[in-house]
Structure 1
Amino acid sequence: MGEDEEEKQEIWSWGAGTDGQLGTCKLQDEHFPQLLHLPSLSSAGPISMLACGGAHVIALTSVGKVLTWGRGTSGQLGHGDTVNNPHPKPVVFSESCFVTHVSAGWNHSGFVSDGGSVFTCGDGSFGQLGHGDFKFHCSPVKVSYFINKHVEQIACGMRHSIVLLKGHSGDQVYAFGSGKRGQLGISKGRVNSVCLPEVTCGLEDVEIVSIAANGDHSAALSTDGRLYTWGKGFNGTTNAFCPVCVPESLCFTEVALGWNHALLLTAGDGEAIMLGGNNHGVLSNPDKMSSVKQLQDSRGANLERVPALEGKKVLHIAAGAEHSALITAEDGVIRSWGWGEHGQLGLGNTCDQMRPEVVILSQDVHKEATKIKVYCGSGFTIVLRSLAQTSAFEC
C-alpha cells in the first residue's frame, strides 16, 4: 500500500448576501463563514482565482473557463440578461478563448484572454466598458481598441477600469470610465468620463507587474516593488490626477484597494501596511498605531503598520469597500477588521472592528490547508482554500 496526495478545494463565504453573491442559495446576510456546496464549480475544474465586485463574483478555472454569480441587474454576470443568479453559471464568449485574468467592479466585469484580448460587460454608463459608448452590455464584448495589442491584466473600480499592456516597447496602462477624482490618470485636471481607452500618464518608464482598482482609486506595482497610486485622496488629502509613488524607501509585493484606504504588503518581512481609511474602524485607533518611520505618501497620508499581529509575517491581503482581511503565513489564519454591518468580518456579529480579529472557518483539525486566499467584495468576503487529502492506492 502507498499514499498519494490530492488537493480538494473549499469555498467559504460570509457577509452581504441579499443579491445571491455568497453562493449559499439563501438571499440573506451571513455573519459566520459558510461552506459552499457548488456542483457547477466542482465540475468546471480547479479555481485559479476569484474576483469580487459590488455584489457579484467571478470564478476563473485553471482551464480558462469563467463562472459568475450574484447581482446581475446591469448585465455584469455576462449571462445575456439582467437578473440576479445565486448559482454559479458559465459565461459564454462570442469567440473561443482561454481566459487568464478577471476583475469585478461595482456593476461591471472584465476578462482577459491568453491571446491578449479584453472583454467587458455590465454597466457602461460612465464609459467603464471601453466600447466607445455609455451602454449596458449583458454579454462579454471584446474591446476593439486593443485588437492587435496584448493586454495582460484588467482591474475594475467602481465606475472605471484600467488595463495593463505588455509589449516590445514597454509596459503601458490604459484607463477608461469616470475620472472625476483622477482615477484614470490621463490628465492633470478633472475628467468627467472617457468611453475609449486612453494612456495613463507618468508610467512610461516603469516596468509594471500588477494593477489594482477599487472605488475611485487606481494603483500599479512595479517589478522592483515600487507602488504608484492615483485617484481619490486618502484621509482627506488631495486627489492625484497622475500616478504618484509611495515613499521609495519601501518595497511592496501586493496592494489591495478599498474605497477610502489601501492595504499594502511589504517585501521580505511580509508586513501589512495601511494607507488612509479611518472610516468604520478600517484603521485602528490612530493614537495607538505605530507609523512606518513617520512616512507619508506624497499627498500627506500616513502609512501605518496594521497592529495586533504580534510580529507574524503576512502572506496575503484583501480589501473590500471599508473592511480588510489578511492571512498570516505561519499558521494560515484569516484575520479581518473594519466595517462589519453585514457580517463581512465573519465574526458572528455586525460590529465594526478596530483591529484584526481571527476568523474561524472550521473546527476540523484534520484539514490541513496547502493554499489559502481571501477575496473581499464591497460588503462580503470569500475564502478559497486547497486541502491536502491523502488517498490510499495499491502498489
Structure 2
Amino acid sequence: MDAAISAAHEAPPAVVLVSAGASHSVALLAGNVLCTWGRGEDGQLGHGDAEDRLVPTVISGFDAPGITSVICGADHTTAYSEDEHQVYSWGWGDFGRLGHGNSTDVFTPQPVKALQGIKIKQLACGDSHCLAVTMAGEVLSWGRNQNGQLGLGTTEDSLLPQTIQAFVGISVKMIAAGAEHTAAVTEDGEIYGWGWGRYGNLGLGDRNDRFVPEKVSSVEGEKMVLVACGWRHTITVSSSGSLYTYGWSKYGQLGHGDFEDHLVPHKVEALKDSSTSQISGGWRHTMALTSDGKLYGWGWNKFGQVGAGDNADHCSPAQVNFPEEQKVAQVACGWRHTLAFTEKKNVFAWGRGTSGQLGHGEIVDRNTPVMIDALSPDGPGCKKLESSAAIPFAAKIWVSPSERYALVPDEKVAKPGDVSARGNGADASVPENDVKRMRVSS
C-alpha cells in the first residue's frame, strides 16, 4: 500500500455519500475519490483482487470523472458517472447482476455498455438484481428474476438491462430493491411493488408474488416520497414525513412494537411526532433519520447493527447516540452492519465486523457507532488513506457460475397466532457467519 491521497495529520476529503452491502462498504469522497472496504472475495471492492480490506482503501486507476452515485448490492457495487453518462459495476456476476451480458465476476470497475450515454436519475441494487431510473422516465432492470423482481412479466434472469414496460408513461421518482422484491414511488406519490411477496412485503394485502409492478392501495390519502427495502420488508415515507413499513417482522424490523407481519403499509406510531427525512433497510433491521438529525434503529440486532448499545432485538425505534450529539446527515444499512456520517463529515460504523466492513482496522463487532478515523476529520488516528495496487484481472482465479450457487433460505410463513421463534431465537436460515454461498466441485 504505497500511495496516499492526504498527508499526515491533514483531514481527508469530505465524505459525500456512503453505501453498504452484505459484508462490504463504500464511500464517495469529495474530489471524485472512491473508497471501499470489507469483504472482497467476489471483487466487490474493485481493487483488482479478492482480498478483504480492514480500512477504507482508495480504488486506484478508476478515473471516471464526475461520480455522483455509488450503490452496493449484496456482493457487487455500481457507480454512476454523470460527466460520462455511464454506469459502472463490479463484483460477483452470477445471474447477470452486473449488467455486462454475462455471469462473469469482475474485480475492477467496468462500464455497463448497454447503459452508455443514458442519463440516470437513480440506481438501486438488491441482493442479486439492479434497477435504474433514467432522466427520460424509463425504468430498467437486470439480474436475478426467479420471483419476478425485475418486473418484466417473467421469471427469467436478464444479463442485460431491460425496460420495464409497465412503467411506460408513468413518471417514477424512486426505486428500491430488496433480496427478491422491488418497490417504487412515482412522482404522483403512488407506491408500486413486485417480485417475491410471501411476507406481505409488496404491500398489496396478500402473500403472492407479482411479476409486474402493481399499485399499492393509497395510504390514508398521503402521497409517498421515499421508499427503501430491507431483505423482506419495505419502508416508505410520505410527503408529511410520516413513516410506514410493511412485510416481514419476525425480528421487529417493522418497528410497530410487536413481531407481526403487515401486508399493507402501516404507520410507525413511535415516530409520529417526528418528520422522517431518510430511510434505509438492512437484512433484518431498519434505520430512519429525522429532519432534526436524529437517527433511530430497530429490528434484528444480534451483531449490534441497530446501534443502541446492546445486542437485543428492538421492535420499536431506539435512538442511536453519537459523540457530542452530532447530527446525522446520511445513513446506510448493510446486511448486518450500518454506516452513517454526520454534519461534521465524521463517518461512523457499527454492527457486524467480521470481514472488516466497519473500516476500523479490526474484525470485531460493535453495538454503538465507532468513528472510522481514516475518513473523519475528527478522527484521532487520521493520517492517510491507503490506495490499492491494482492487480490485472487475468491473474485472478475465476470460478465459473456453474460451480457456484446462491443460498436463499426457504423460510416457512408463520401461522396466525404462532409466537414461537421470535426475536433473537434460533433461526436455522440465519447463518452464523457471513458465508453467503458455497463453492462446489463440478
Range of TM-score over shorter length:
0.7 to 0.9
Deviation per CA, 1:220-243: give whole Å up to 9, x if none. 122221111111116341111111
Shift of 1:95: 8.9
Shift of 1:321: 0.6
- Paired with 1:230 and 1:65, the residues of 2 have a C-alpha distance of 34
Structure 2 partner of 1:180: 198
Q: Could you list the runs of 5+ residues in structure 2 that have no partner in the other structure? A: 1-29, 253-258, 376-380, 386-432, 435-442
Structure 1 partner of 2:266: 244
Listed as ranges, the matches of 1:1-395 within 5 Å are 8-39=31-62, 42-43=63-64, 45-63=65-83, 64-93=85-114, 97-166=118-187, 170-187=188-205, 189-191=206-208, 193-203=209-219, 205-233=221-249, 235-236=251-252, 237-247=259-269, 248-268=272-292, 270-284=293-307, 301-330=315-344, 332-361=345-374
Deviation per CA, 1:302-338: give whole Å up to 9, x if none. 21111343311111111101111111212x1111111
Deviation per CA, 1:19-78: give whole Å up to 9, x if none. 100011120221121111133xx23x2111111111111112224321111111110110
- For the residue of structure 2 that corresponds to 1:139, the secondary structure is strand
- Paired with 1:343 and 1:140, the residues of 2 have a C-alpha distance of 32
Shift of 1:244: 1.0
Shift of 1:285: 6.2
- Paired with 2:76 and 2:309, the residues of 1 have a C-alpha distance of 33
- Paired with 1:36 and 1:310, the residues of 2 have a C-alpha distance of 32
**Further displaced range: 317-326 or 229-238:** 229-238
- For the residue of structure 2 that corresponds to 1:206, the secondary structure is coil
Structure 1 partner of 2:404: none
Shift of 1:301: 2.1
Whether the 8 Å contact between 1:13 and 1:36 is mirrored in structure 2 is yes
- For the residue of structure 1 that corresponds to 2:273, the secondary structure is coil
- Paired with 1:54 and 1:11, the residues of 2 have a C-alpha distance of 18
- For the residue of structure 2 that corresponds to 1:119, the secondary structure is strand
**Further displaced range: 93-102 or 123-132:** 93-102
Whether the 8 Å contact between 1:234 and 1:261 is mirrored in structure 2 is no
Shift of 1:286: 6.4
In terms of fraction of residues, the more strand-rich structure is 1
Shift of 1:262: 0.9
TM-score (norm 1): 0.81
Structure 1 partner of 2:426: none
- Paired with 2:33 and 2:221, the residues of 1 have a C-alpha distance of 41
- For the residue of structure 2 that corresponds to 1:145, the secondary structure is helix
- For the residue of structure 1 that corresponds to 2:303, the secondary structure is helix
- Paired with 2:240 and 2:104, the residues of 1 have a C-alpha distance of 43
- Paired with 1:364 and 1:306, the residues of 2 have a C-alpha distance of 24
Q: Could you list the runs of 5+ residues in structure 1 that have no partner in the other structure? A: 1-6, 290-299, 368-377, 380-395
- Paired with 1:312 and 1:285, the residues of 2 have a C-alpha distance of 15
In the TM superposition, structure 1's runs of 4+ consecutive aligned residues that sit over 6 Å from their partners are 285-289, 363-367
Structure 2 partner of 1:373: none
- For the residue of structure 2 that corresponds to 1:279, the secondary structure is coil
Say what the alpha-carbon RMSD is for the aligned residues.
2.4
- Paired with 2:61 and 2:337, the residues of 1 have a C-alpha distance of 26
Amino acid at match of 1:272: L
What fraction of aligned residue pairs are identical, expressed as a percent?
Answer: 28
Shift of 1:284: 4.9
Amino acid at match of 2:347: I
**Further displaced range: 54-63 or 95-104:** 95-104
Amino acid at match of 1:74: F
- Paired with 1:75 and 1:286, the residues of 2 have a C-alpha distance of 39
How many residues are treated as equivalent by the alignment?
A: 343
Deviation per CA, 1:251-274: give whole Å up to 9, x if none. 111111111211111112x01111
Deviation per CA, 1:364-391: give whole Å up to 9, x if none. 6799xxxxxxxxxx97xxxxxxxxxxxx
Deviation per CA, 1:77-107: give whole Å up to 9, x if none. 1001111111111113379632111101100
Whether the 8 Å contact between 1:234 and 1:275 is mirrored in structure 2 is no
- For the residue of structure 1 that corresponds to 2:214, the secondary structure is strand
Deviation per CA, 1:129-175: give whole Å up to 9, x if none. 01111011000010111112212221111000111222xxx321111
- For the residue of structure 1 that corresponds to 2:324, the secondary structure is coil
Shift of 1:288: 11
- Paired with 2:91 and 2:169, the residues of 1 have a C-alpha distance of 33
- Paired with 2:134 and 2:157, the residues of 1 have a C-alpha distance of 21
- Paired with 1:263 and 1:177, the residues of 2 have a C-alpha distance of 23
Amino acid at match of 1:75: G
Q: 1:202–1:240: structure 2 CA closer, same or farther, 3 Å change rule?
A: farther
